[in-house]
């Protein structure tokens, strides 16, 4: 027999946005259900040192932080479901989602917090050295490279912005791009080329991230010239892959409006164009992509959903009284 779970607030995703929404929803008495998805805890579960989340004097570990956030959500009444959603029906309330095992989830409101994933190069050493010198977020990890040599891989706005940000910490920043011109906006390019701490390496592709030392960490990148095919090696302490992010929104294609795959919400709120459907965190944020901003947006989504339900309940009571 197919299992069905119903709730006043259904939350899809269990990163900082989803769990913050769950905490606020549970405290409002909405008994939220969180469907955790492919990566319970979100991107922080593959992050080691976290030094920029408020409330912790010392560095904390990403997986530990998410475990504590989940425990807090469960403590106040949220229910966690380990499932992957494969089908969504937003044509009527309650909204209906189906897991890959056939389980049905029904929600009077839906809060989408499915997040986004950094795009990676897929070359040797990248996964192994993740968190050991290879990163996809300069704002998150740049602080750990104070006074050290770093490289940024990419040629768009994100790569240029990451390189400029890293000059706050590093005196030696190299932007590695596989072509002979950048795709970034001209104003960003002008700032990049004028900065004395940034050097651009043209027509080079990263073939391998090289580890070494004890404990093992990144010591350099092997490069291939995209024009001549010549191989070279560049020593570096940190490498930041900045070739874009992919929001996890495939489920909602054709159902909700998007911009480059990111869900669109009404300015200053978490409301989508479907009443009762809200979005929060990296799935709707192409600018900041921080755990603390995702958590804040999760709070917003829960408060927006609570207000929506209160208004719907009032309208239903008024109709019943007529």
Of 141, 237, 282, 304, catalytic:
141
Of 83, 140, 237, 304, catalytic:
140
User: Hey, which residues does 50 pair with through a beta bridge?
Assistant: 60
Burial (CB count <10 Å: 0-12, 13-18, 19+), residue 261: middle
Buried b (16+ CB within 10 A) or exposed e, 77-112: bbbbbebebeebebeebbbbbbbeeebebbbbbbbb
Query: Is it true that the peptide bond before 94 is cis, omega within 30 degrees of 0?
Result: yes
Coil, helix or strand for 212? strand
- Residue 215's CB is within 10 A of a number of other CB atoms, namely 6
Let me know if 140 is a catalytic residue: yes
DSSP one-letter code for 124: B
How far apart are the C-alpha atoms of 113 and 122, rounded to whole Å?
Answer: 26
Coil, helix or strand for 302? helix
Q: What is the largest CA-CA distance in the chain?
A: 81
Let me know if 299 is a catalytic residue: no
Coil, helix or strand for 113? coil
200 HSE (CA, 13 A, CB side): 20
Q: Characterize the bridge pairing of strands 217-225 and 204-212.
A: antiparallel
Those residues with Cβ within 8 angstroms of residue 9's Cβ, 6 or more apart along the chain or in another chain: 21, 25, 30, 31, 32, 33, 107, 108, 109, 111, 302, 305, 306, 309
Point out the residues that are catalytic: 137, 140-141
């Amino acid at each position: 027999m197919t299992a069905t779970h119903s709730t006043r607030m259904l939350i899809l995703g269990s990163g900082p946005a989803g769990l913050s929404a769950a905490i606020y929803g549970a405290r409002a008495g909405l008994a939220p259900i969180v469907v955790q998805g492919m990566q319970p805890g979100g991107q922080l579960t593959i992050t080691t040192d976290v030094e920029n989340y408020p409330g912790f004097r010392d560095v904390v570990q990403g997986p530990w932080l998410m475990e504590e956030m989940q425990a807090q959500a469960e403590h106040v009444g949220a229910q966690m479901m380990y499932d992957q959603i494969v089908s969504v029906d937003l044509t009527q309330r309650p909204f209906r989602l189906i897991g890959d095992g056939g389980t049905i989830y029904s929600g009077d409101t839906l809060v989408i917090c499915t997040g986004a994933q950094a795009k990676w190069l897929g070359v040797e050493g990248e996964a192994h050295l993740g968190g050991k010198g290879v990163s996809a977020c300069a704002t998150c990890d740049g602080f750990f490279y104070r006074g050290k040599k770093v490289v940024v891989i990419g040629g768009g706005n994100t790569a240029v912005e990451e390189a400029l940000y890293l000059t706050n910490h590093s005196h030696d920043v190299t932007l590695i791009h596989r072509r002979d011109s950048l795709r970034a906006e001209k104003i960003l390019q002008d700032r990049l080329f004028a900065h004395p701490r940034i050097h651009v390496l043209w027509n080079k592709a990263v073939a391998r991230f090289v580890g070494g030392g004890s404990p093992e960490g990144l010591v350099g990148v092997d490069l291939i010239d995209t024009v001549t095919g010549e191989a070279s090696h560049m020593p570096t302490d940190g490498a930041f892959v900045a070739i874009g992010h992919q929001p996890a929104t495939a489920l909602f294609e054709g159902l909700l409006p998007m911009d480059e795959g990111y869900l669109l919400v009404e300015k200053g709120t978490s409301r989508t164009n479907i009443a009762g459907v809200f979005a929060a965190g990296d799935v709707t944020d192409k600018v900041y992509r921080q755990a603390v901003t995702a958590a804040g947006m999760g709070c917003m989504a829960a408060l927006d959903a609570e207000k929506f339900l209160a208004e719907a309940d009032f309208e239903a009571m008024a109709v019943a009284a007529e």
